[in-house]
Amino acid sequence: MFRNVAELVELAESKNMLISEIMIQQEVSVKGRSREAIIEQMSHNLEVMEKAVERGINEEVKSHSGLTGGDAVLLQKYIKSGKSLAGDLLMDAVSKAVATNEVNAAMGTICATPTAGSAGVVPGTLFALKNKLNPTREQMVRYLFTSGAFGFVVANNASISGAAGGCQAEVGSATGMAAAAIVELAGGTPSQSAEAMAIALKNMLGLVCDPVAGLVEVPCVKRNAMGAANAIVAADMALAGVTSRIPCDEVIDAMYKIGQSMPTALKETALGGLAATPTGRELEAKIFGVSLDEEK
């Protein structure tokens, strides 16, 4: 039904439908399953996300490596102190994004959105906005379909893999997906969703994938936090009427080309970036007893 963002927006506007509805119809057509079955599966995904968020903000979840854990709880305590400079909504989204990725790092169950390493941005923003916008459960499920529609475009025109395109392809894609979905949830138009995606993704271009010790923990968890904040700001800008000078599809294409030109050391190999810092190597040696450089 659609191959790029321009076609997605044109379909939604010409049919006077939400982007989430276009995505639902595409899933029904492509997978040959009933509408009810498609929505039921996404509802299950929502439940998985919700449980991960709740676990992460209420328990000091620790990873086996000891690199991550407990930060979501710290952030929730900070919010309750009333001292937040960024505001409760933004920090709540940040904490819930962190919560999801801490659960992932601790080998808990999460929903890859679009990947495990970038799984915090979409649910983090959604469950923070839940307290402000009071969406119905159906609207929350639609949020995921809208995110999925934009993720579908990225996956088919660029990449959602850190190994192929750097962290811009993972957390960057998730940030754009969330920004677009926030706009729809807040009552914005399909074209505003596309603008939000473009604005959000532009600000993640060039982000490298450099996991310390090769684990999806440092800096991945905190990058999800920043992605959640970025998504909300991008959505607000689009809802205010701000547009991207570069069309969304061209931003996605630029991300693909940037990823292609990135050196292998900065694409999930733990050979460069933060992974190659003295502290990064010390942590790696502490966890594995040998550095990845020595293994290779």
Contact assessment for residue 252 and residue 158, using Cβ atoms and an 8 Å cutoff: yes
Residue range 18-66, pLDDT digits in tens: 999 999 999 999 999 999 999 999 999 999 999 999 999 999 999 999 9
The answer to whether position 245 is within a domain reads yes
113 domain residue, yes or no = yes
C-alpha pair distances (Å), 34 with each of 15, 20, 25, 42, 86: 21, 16, 10, 13, 43
Please, are residues 122 and 181 in contact by the beta-carbon 8 Å criterion? yes
Residue 175 included in any domain = yes
Average pLDDT over residues 184-201: 98
Establish if 251 belongs to a structural domain.
yes
Is the pLDDT at 196 greater than 60? The verdict is yes
Give the length of the chain. Answer: 296
Whether the predicted pLDDT of 71 surpasses 70: yes
What's the pLDDT band for 14 if we cut at 50, 70, 90? very high
> What pLDDT is stored for residue 293 in this prediction?
56
Q: For position 290, what pLDDT does the model report?
A: 72
pLDDT per residue over 155-168, tens digit each? 999 999 999 999 99
Per residue in 243-273, pLDDT (tens digit) is: 999 999 999 999 999 999 999 999 999 999 9
Q: Is residue 227 part of a domain?
A: yes
Residue 294 maps to a domain? no
Residue 291 has what pLDDT? 54
Query: What is the pLDDT averaged over residues 82-92?
Result: 98
Q: Which two tokens stand for residue 25?
A: 């119809």
Provide mean pLDDT across the span 140-165: 98
Could you tell me the CATH number of the domain that includes residue 222? 1.10.4100
Domain assignment of residue 295, yes or no? no
For 90-107, what is the mean pLDDT?
98
If one counts the domains in the chain, the total is 1
Quick one: DSSP state of residue 206?
A: T
The backbone torsions φ and ψ at residue 267, rounded to the nearest 5 degrees and listed phi first, read -130, 70
Residue 158 lies in domain:
5-288
Backbone angles phi, psi at 62, to 5 degrees: -115, 140
The arithmetic mean of pLDDT across residues 87-116, rounded, is 98
SS3 of residue 166 by DSSP: coil
pLDDT higher than threshold 90 for residue 1: no
pLDDT tens per residue, range 274-290? 999 999 999 999 999 87
231 SS3 class:
helix
d(CA 177, CA 198): 10
Share of the chain above pLDDT 70, in %: 98
The arithmetic mean of pLDDT across residues 130-153, rounded, is 98
Burial (CB count within 10 angstroms: exposed 0-12, middle 13-18, buried 19+), residue 116: middle
Contacts of 245 (CB under 8 A, 6+ apart): none
**What DSSP designation does 170 have?**
I
pLDDT value for 117:
98
**103: in domain:** yes
**Residue 82: pLDDT band by 50, 70, 90 thresholds?**
very high
